[in-house]
Structure 1
């Protein structure tokens, strides 16, 4: 599943859900579009940049937009335009919402559920990259879990904690306890930038990540 700025997005077809992925902007931010196969309802994760590309991506029909965390590259250049054009409901982690200069309609907390059409995403709070970053878990009834991690978990390591050892320890503990300890190895991971991975691919490196502190 691949996505390139301004080109046709990659698509993954699940039994009840279609997942689209496109990379936008100078930071190659990943934007994901989840479409309910039974109702046609659509949810976007991180409307980051290139609003015209994102509006084409969703055919100007959008019910919800979730911003995974407050860093400007995940919302500044497109979120307001996309929301104004579609009327989508906006979601973000409660501690991060004040740092996003677009109104957050629904402030998210750990364990919350977001329902869009017939599918549901579970909110997993991950603190460290930002105070209120969230990951979003989709439990595919016909397959393995799918996890959208924003900038908190990537292939090869955690998100940047900017040299703050306390923030790193908090993020590592959250990722280990709430994700690796609870979800199986075949969980597919969709990060905020770059390629996808699985928990099984990354799990053996956890001790190395903790030891190096980033």
Structure 2
């Protein structure tokens, strides 16, 4: 989404990204899956269901990350910030692909509510972007820090034998930490106290629902 694109062009690119994010569980990844060289474990049925529920939550998280970044980029005041956000969104595509592939390997599927998750996250991202560029970056930092924390919890919650899922989650956690650090370096401003709490509450609702749906 460069400076040479018109508003209409940007809307079309955003629409294309929306459709591919919501309806393509395994988009093309720039990097191979961290699980590629790890053999599949012989999991018990209940372990497979639990691992699939956690990976579905992670897949939804990446759907929401795409939407947040695209929403923020749509209203960014500078081309530099727009580029930063869309670059981060592109990197998150790897996570989306890895989680989608892992769900398939676990004989499961993405959330049935992905269009709803995407629409809500896009709206939140656009609203954050309208507040100002520094606070928009602060929103990125807070989002990534919260995602990093829940991925750490998933490393503890995944079946011990499921090394493939654990490898994916561990790499995602490292990437999210790096995204937060880059946003801080770009000039992120801290969010007002009520906003992080509201974000955590919304994320908890998403995790509870996405585990099953």
TM-score of the aligned structures, taking structure 2 as reference length:
0.29
- Comparing both structures, which one devotes a greater share of its residues to strand? 1
Which structure has the bigger radius of gyration?
2
TM-score of the aligned structures, taking structure 1 as reference length:
0.28
Greater relative CO (CA pairs within 8 A, separation 6+): 2
